[in-house]
């Protein structure tokens, strides 16, 4: 894993956007894996800036998002679908037909998991996956547990994740407790991965990812087994390294 430390989140946003931009320029039909959360916002802002300046054309790329809440409609202002449109897709020339997020619509959400992995495979697999990391070391919504979950699955969010997400909702009762998420196996199949982390709250998880055992107690630690991962950190997130 390559580790780059920057002073500011905006620099991380630019650096990550530059890697994504290079991928799009060298392969205009590339498949990107995208993440939600606060950390990728500067990355998306930089991608929008590249688009506004005429540097990037998104018209033929395809994207798959990592995860989505279960039981939250796509029009809900906290759905990850809305997040992606508000912060990126509505600001660039991406074809909405080329955008996919997991969407549990069946009476049994488990039935929507395998088709999501199949759709990624059918698109040729993910060329570049953007990831954040949870305070508890999760990647996507793969929470700390006893085994690395392989494919897309339904997950009960841990108390620490519900707590971290409550800033987006009126009260903790409103925070969804279940999500559909790409598995660790789905993520590890990506040909290249960028993981970004900012702020002191991420410092322990970042330490475990880089220096701890490769163990599903810190799901992000699995990334050390991937051949092409770059971690972009700010000084606070890197403070325990």
Active site residues: 67, 136, 138, 143
Farthest CA pair distance, the chain: 47
Closest approach of ligand PGA to the CB of residue 68, in Å: 13
**Could you say whether residue 144 binds ligand PGA (CB under 6 A)?**
no
Q: How far is the CB of 100 from ligand PGA (least distance, A)?
A: 19
Contact indicator for 241, 210 with CB cutoff of 8 Å: yes
**For ligand PGA, which is the closer residue by CB, 115 or 176?**
176
Closest among 102, 99, 44 to 70, alpha carbons compared: 102
By CB under 6 A, name the one of 13, 102, 109, 132 that touches ligand PGA: 132
Least distance from ligand PGA to the Cβ atom of residue 76, Å: 17
Task: Let me know: does 155 contact 179? Beta carbons within 8 Å.
Answer: yes
- CA 172 to chain CA centroid, nearest Å: 23
Long-range contacts of 87-93 (CB under 8 A, 24+ apart): 87/41, 87/44, 87/45, 88/34, 88/44, 88/47, 88/48, 91/48, 91/51, 92/47, 92/48, 92/51, 92/56, 92/58, 93/51, 93/57, 93/58, 93/59
Smallest gap from residue 204 Cβ to ligand PGA (A): 13
Indicate the residue among 63 and 142 with the shorter CB distance to ligand PGA.
142
Contact 126, 120 (CB under 8 A): yes
- According to the binding rule CB under 6 A, does residue 38 interact with ligand PGA? yes
State which H helix or E strand residue 117 sits in.
helix 113-122
Q: Which of 37, 102, 109, 219 binds ligand PGA (CB under 6 A)?
A: 37
- What minimum distance in Å lies between the beta carbon of 40 and ligand PGA? 7
Residues 6+ positions from 91 with CB-CB distance below 8 Å: 48, 51
Q: Which stretch binds ligand PGA (CB under 6 A): 14-22, 37-45, 150-158, 179-187?
A: 37-45
- Measured from the CB atom, is 38 or 93 closer to ligand PGA? 38
Fill in the per-residue mask, 39 to 58: x = in contact with ligand PGA (CB under 6 A), - = not in contact. x-------------------
Q: Which listed residue (109, 134, 144, 219) binds ligand PGA by CB under 6 A?
A: 134
Of all residues in the shown chain, the one whose CB is closest to ligand PGA is 37
Q: Whose CA is closest to 102, among 43, 180, 167, 177?
A: 180
Q: Which is nearer to ligand PGA, 83 or 116 (CB)?
A: 83
User: Binding to ligand PGA by residue 95, rule CB under 6 A?
Assistant: no
Residues that bind ligand PGA (CB under 6 A): 37-39, 132-134
């Amino acid at each position: 894993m390559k580790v780059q430390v920057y002073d500011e989140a905006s620099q991380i946003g630019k650096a990550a956007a530059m890697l994504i931009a290079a991928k799009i320029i060298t392969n205009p039909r590339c498949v990107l894996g995208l993440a939600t959360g606060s950390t990728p916002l500067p990355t998306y802002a930089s991608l929008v800036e590249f688009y506004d300046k005429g540097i990037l054309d998104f018209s033929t790329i395809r994207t798959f998002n990592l995860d989505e809440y279960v039981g939250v409609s796509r029009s809900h202002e906290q759905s990850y679908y809305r997040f992606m449109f508000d912060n990126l897709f509505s600001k660039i020339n991406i074809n909405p037909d080329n955008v996919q997020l997991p969407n549990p619509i069946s009476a049994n959400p488990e039935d929507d998991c395998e088709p999501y992995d199949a759709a990624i495979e059918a698109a040729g697999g993910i060329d570049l996956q953007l990831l954040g990391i949870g305070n508890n070391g999760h990647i996507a919504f793969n929470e700390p547990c006893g085994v690395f979950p392989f494919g897309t699955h339904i997950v009960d969010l841990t108390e620490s994740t519900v707590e971290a997400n409550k800033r987006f909702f009126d009260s903790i009762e409103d925070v969804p407790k279940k999500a559909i998420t790409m598995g660790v196996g789905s993520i590890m199949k990506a040909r290249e991965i960028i993981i970004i982390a900012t702020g002191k709250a991420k410092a322990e998880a970042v330490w475990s990812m880089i220096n701890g055992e490769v163990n599903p107690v810190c799901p992000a630690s699995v990334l050390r087994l991937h051949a092409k991962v770059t971690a972009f950190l700010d000084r606070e997130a890197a403070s325990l390294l």
